[in-house]
Amino acid sequence: MGNGLTSHAELAALVDAVASHRDRAAFAQLFDHFVPRLSAYLQRLGTEATLAEELTQEVMVTLWRKADQFDPAKSSVPTWLYRIARNRRIDYLRRDRLDFVDPLEPAHDVGEDPEADRMLDLQQREERLRTAMESLPPEQLTLVRLAFFEGLSHSEIADRAGLPLGTVKSRIRLAFTRLRRTLEADGVVEAG
């Protein structure tokens, strides 16, 4: 994800640190990671650059003040913050146009936001994958985590796990076969 943030779990842990003990270093990491992304997102929605920066600052203040309201079981940190940004933009547009609200304004059309739809789709796929991974035998799950969440090569996994390289490769291959079957059955990936 850039800036050393590689997973939704790491982002959620940083938000938790802000919520539980006002961790300024955690907030700084979140700030550095999300400010350019949120500003770009708001500008893609048609917000002028200066206003996008202002709204992004409001989103980050909201994160600081309301970090305890974030629930990782309901959404990822990016989804939560993009939703807050979108709502801040809508609130601004409503304040700015009290005398006239255009029902065709793209900001009012939540279902047609391709970025939000894509993020929701990714979140749902991530949840299905997490569930599918939980069905793996522990000896396969451990190796898959080392390969993909820690980025270790097969030989590094073999060294760390104290297993022959062939065993590592075989278990990872079996895990992928099992995951593919589970995800195909759920319709997450196309059979092929």
Q: Where do the domains of the chain lie?
A: 1-133, 135-192
Q: What mean pLDDT is predicted for residues 56-67?
A: 91
Percentage of the chain modeled with pLDDT above 70: 80
Q: Where does the pLDDT of residue 111 fall: very low under 50, low under 70, confident under 90, or very high at 90 and above?
A: very low
């319709």: which residue's tokens?
187
CATH topology of domain 135-192: Arc Repressor Mutant, subunit A (1.10.10)
Query: How distant, in Å, are the alpha carbons of 73, 153, 154 from that of 147?
Result: 25, 6, 7
More confident: 192 or 145: 145
CA atoms within 13 A on the CB side of 155: 0
Sign, CA dihedral 29-35-36-42, equals: positive
Residue 183 has pLDDT above 60, yes or no: yes
Q: Where does the pLDDT of residue 2 fall: very low under 50, low under 70, confident under 90, or very high at 90 and above?
A: very low
More confident: 98 or 142: 142
Instruction: Decide whether 1-133 matches 135-192 in CATH topology.
Output: no
Residue 188 is which amino acid?
V
Q: How many whole angstroms separate alpha carbon 36 and alpha carbon 1?
A: 13
Domain spanning 1-133, CATH class: mainly alpha
